[in-house]
Structure 1
Amino acid sequence: MAPSRSARLAAALIALCAALGVAAGFTAVFGRTGSVPATAWIMVAYFTNLTGLVVAVVFGGIALRRPGLSRPWLVAGTALASLLVGVVQRLLLYGLRELRGGDLVGDILLHQALPVLVPLFWLAFVPKGRLSARDPLLFAAYPLAYLAYTLMRGAFDARYPYPFLDVGKLGWGPVAAYAGAIAAAFLAVGWAMVALDRFLARRRPAAG
């Protein structure tokens, strides 16, 4: 896709929101640890922060006209991951902690703004009719890789970033049930995106 000027401006705004959200969270965690390596180790434990970095890279690339980062399947997958961040936070994590300062800024930008802005960008600016029924399986590789990474980290240091992935407290059965339900919902929404992509392509010819 060759992004228009308005698309590049929108992408730049989204990349800025992602970068500021991750930076705000990093500043807040650093204030508690006083250590850059410890802060980085904590930050990369969270799917939210990793997805924020992905959004910053992909949308920064779109803003800077990097063609490899503006592919429709990549933008759609990033939109789906961002949507997952917002839905999981709202359904499973909302209200568990009182947030202030950088934690609150990061929460607003990463959990509330990006899950709306990134899918809207896909709807408004990405050419339609380019997704296939296999793409949601490709999209799912990212959260599944994160799940494996998180469980390996937890086996190493007995700390889990999210309560529903805490094998030590819940056991493998409930964690597998949570992970399976999230994966099923992720794939269902992914295939819904493919169907919407095809529907919109029939209504307006795909550009470029």
Structure 2
Amino acid sequence: MDSRSARLAAALIALCAALGVAAGFSAVFGRTGSVPLTVWIMVAYFTNLTGLVVLAVFGGIALRAPALAQPRFVATALLATLLVGLVQRLLLYGLRTLRGGDLVGDILLHQVLPVLVPLYWLAFVPKGRLAPRDLALFASYPLIYLGYTLLRGAYDARYPYPFLDVGKIGWGPVAAYAGAIAAAFLAVGWALVLLDRRLARRKAALG
């Protein structure tokens, strides 16, 4: 991942993430007129937090920060961006009419990153470095987010996503949605580990 082309590709992905979050921030700030309130609203959403994770990981790769360039961190960002894209498409698509910065952020974070990050992993990340134990890291991010969201909701009675809104749909449906998303996330994570090993074996066989 230290080649010039890998760093340039990582810089492009980091730029897309930064622009997506910035566009969303600008749109929310235009409605609130308050920086602290805008930050509070922005960090409620898994999409925006994932954009920041992608910015950190791929910005680190572009700047040659080895601590952030580990394959397990890239894989975590990959799974998170896929989750963002799939949940938006399956559960949230069409619920709001988006314009301006909201639309730009939606396109970059929900559509562009879920394509670019997996392509980067396929093209540039060394294979054979992932292990089943990495599933704990993969799962920790969405689980921490879930706990954080429920705590926020208990504090201000607002939930960023309708399928996590305990006040409107109750704990049972929220638990069902969260369980289904977690199961899908772990299944895709396991498939990624298997694909990583298969690609490593193929590369070794080809010499």
TM interval, shorter chain, is over 0.9
- What does residue range 121-160 of structure 1 map to in structure 2 within 5 Å? 121-160=120-159
Q: Distance in 1 between matches of 2:60 and 2:203?
A: 26
Q: Distance in 1 between matches of 2:135 and 2:3?
A: 26
In structure 1, give the amino acid aligned to 2:106.
D
**2:67 alignment partner, SS class:** helix
Q: Distance in 2 between matches of 1:89 and 1:98?
A: 13
- What does residue range 127-206 of structure 1 map to in structure 2 within 5 Å? 127-205=126-204
- Show CA shifts across 1:6-61 (max 9, x none): 00000000000000000000000000000000000000000000000010111000
Pairwise CA distance, 1:96: 0.3
In structure 2, give the amino acid aligned to 1:133.
P
Q: Distance in 1 between matches of 2:135 and 2:100?
A: 36
Paired residue for 2:66? Answer: 67
Asked if structure 2 preserves the Cα contact closer than 8 Å seen for 1:137 and 1:187, the reply is no
* Aligned positions, number: 205
In structure 2, give the amino acid aligned to 1:197.
D
Paired residue for 1:91? Answer: 90
Asked if structure 2 preserves the Cα contact closer than 8 Å seen for 1:14 and 1:117, the reply is yes
- Show CA shifts across 1:77-129 (max 9, x none): 11111110000000000000000000000000000000110111111100000
Pairwise CA distance, 1:200: 0.2
Paired residue for 2:49? Answer: 50
Paired residue for 1:31? Answer: 30
In structure 2, give the amino acid aligned to 1:93.
L
Q: Distance in 1 between matches of 2:93 and 2:160?
A: 14
Q: Distance in 2 between matches of 1:138 and 1:13?
A: 25
Q: TM-score, normalising length from structure 1?
A: 0.97
**1:67 alignment partner, SS class:** coil
- Show CA shifts across 1:153-172 (max 9, x none): 00000000000000000000
Asked if structure 2 preserves the Cα contact closer than 8 Å seen for 1:128 and 1:200, the reply is yes
Q: Distance in 1 between matches of 2:201 and 2:158?
A: 48
In structure 2, give the amino acid aligned to 1:24.
A
Identity of counterpart residues, as a percentage?
A: 82
In structure 1, give the amino acid aligned to 2:185.
F
Q: Distance in 2 between matches of 1:71 and 1:205?
A: 21
In structure 2, give the amino acid aligned to 1:204.
K
In structure 2, give the amino acid aligned to 1:37.
P
Q: Distance in 1 between matches of 2:122 and 2:46?
A: 23
- Show CA shifts across 1:163-201 (max 9, x none): 000000000000000000000000000000000000000
Q: TM-score, normalising length from structure 2?
A: 0.98
TM superposition outliers: structure 1 runs of 4+ over 4 Å: none
Pairwise CA distance, 1:205: 3.6
